[in-house]
Amino acid sequence: MSDIVSETVPPQKRPFSMPQGLGQLIPAAVFLLLLFNLPILMMLGWSIGPEGDAFKHYAALAKGSVYMKVLGNTMYIAVLTTLACCVLGYPLAYWMWRLSPRGQMIALGLVVLTFWISILVRTYAWIVVLGNDGIVNRTLKYLGLTENSVAFLYNQVGVIIGTTNVLLPFLVLPLFAAMLKLDKRVLQAAESMGASPSTIFFRIFFPLTIPALAAGAILVFILTLGFFITPAILGGGRVPMIANMLDTLVNRMPRWELAAAISTALLVFTLVFYAAYQWVEKKSRIQ
């Protein structure tokens, strides 16, 4: 199979040369350095010290197990959100891929449309739908299926519904793009050799889209780590996530040193996942 791919899609060969227009990059680089990198370095500085006990705040972080637990809880929510996005997003992207070009445009428009509505409104709207006195619960009660309201919201399920709702396009759009780039002749070749539709899907189509799926999944995972509004509203305040805790430490306490240590730890985690994303993404492009 890989032979066919390499024959139909010749690998691009780019001669190595000094990047052109390096000079034009300087303003942007200075801008980023001053307004982005420098503040991050200052944050790193806050997390270190006082003199003689450089890692005091990191020690406090490791010892005050509650902060690590919240960080762990955040990762857990992110994993579940990623799984939910994959399970919902892959069939959606696949279905879109099989539509006529016109249908694809419409479906794509519907997916992108969600970006037009404020995340706050979309999050709050879930209360109207799934709340204790929302449409779903009232219908269930009316039908006599349940006597007490089903707790869809104000727990982990509520948070995951919210994050998945917001992040699904981030998985679907790149995945769909990758599917479009797939060489259909590969699939036709398999079909002409008598492979069944399920064989074609599981042995050719799916493996070829795994890198894009993995890249989208890592992206969703990273983005979930920073969610703030969703846990505050749909979590009912009972699903502690790291962004909300940082808000408390920065704005209310204000314990900037500890917040800086937590942020640095989070940054390191995120960079590791970002490196993984880059690696996977690059691999998917080569294929």
Partner 1 sequence: MKTIVRSGLKALALGALLMSSTGLAQAEVKELRMIEAGGPSGESIEVGYIKPFTEKTGIKVVRESPAGLGKLRAMVEAKNVTSALNELSSAEYEQAKALDLLEELDWEAINPDPIYDEAKQDKGLGWQYYSTILAWRDDAKPLNGWKDLWDVENFPGKRALPDYPAYILPMALIADGVEPKDLYPLDLDRAFKKLEELKDHVAVWWQAGAQPPQLLKDNEVQYAVAWSGRVTDEPGINYTFNEGQLDLTFFGVPKGIDPEQKAAAMKLLHEVTVAKNQAAAANVVSYTGPSTELDPLLPQDRLDKFPTASKNKAVQFMMDPKWWYDHADEVEQRWQEFKLGL
In angstroms, give the least distance from the CB of 35 to partner 1: 15
Binding partner 1 (rule: CB under 8 A), the pick from 132, 157, 226, 279 is 132
Residue 45 is a binding residue for partner 1 (CB under 8 A): no
Residue 126 is a binding residue for partner 1 (CB under 8 A): no
Can you spell out the DSSP letters for 30-60? HHHIIIIIHHHHHHHHHHS-STT-TTHHHHH
**CB count in 10 Å sphere of residue 163:** 27
State the Cα–Cα distance between residues 74 and 70, nearest whole angstrom. 6
**CB count in 10 Å sphere of residue 209:** 23
Residue 113 is a binding residue for partner 1 (CB under 8 A): no
Q: What x-and-dash track marks residues 231-250 binding partner 1 by CB under 8 A?
A: -x---xxx-x----x--x-x
Q: Are 148 and 62 in contact (CB under 8 A)?
A: no
State the Cα–Cα distance between residues 75 and 205, nearest whole angstrom. 30
In angstroms, give the least distance from the CB of 146 to partner 1: 15
With contacts defined by CB under 8 A, name the span among 98-106, 128-136, 203-211, 212-220 that binds partner 1: 128-136
In angstroms, give the least distance from the CB of 226 to partner 1: 17
**CB count in 10 Å sphere of residue 49:** 13
With contacts defined by CB under 8 A, name the span among 91-99, 110-118, 131-139, 213-221 that binds partner 1: 131-139
Question: What's the gap between Cα 34 and its chain centre?
Answer: 28
Q: What x-and-dash track marks residues 203-232 binding partner 1 by CB under 8 A?
A: -----------------------------x
Q: Which residues contact 117 (CB under 8 A, 6 or more apart)?
A: none
Binding residues vs partner 1 (CB under 8 A): 64, 66-67, 69-70, 73, 127-128, 131-133, 151, 154, 232, 236-238, 240, 245, 248, 250-256
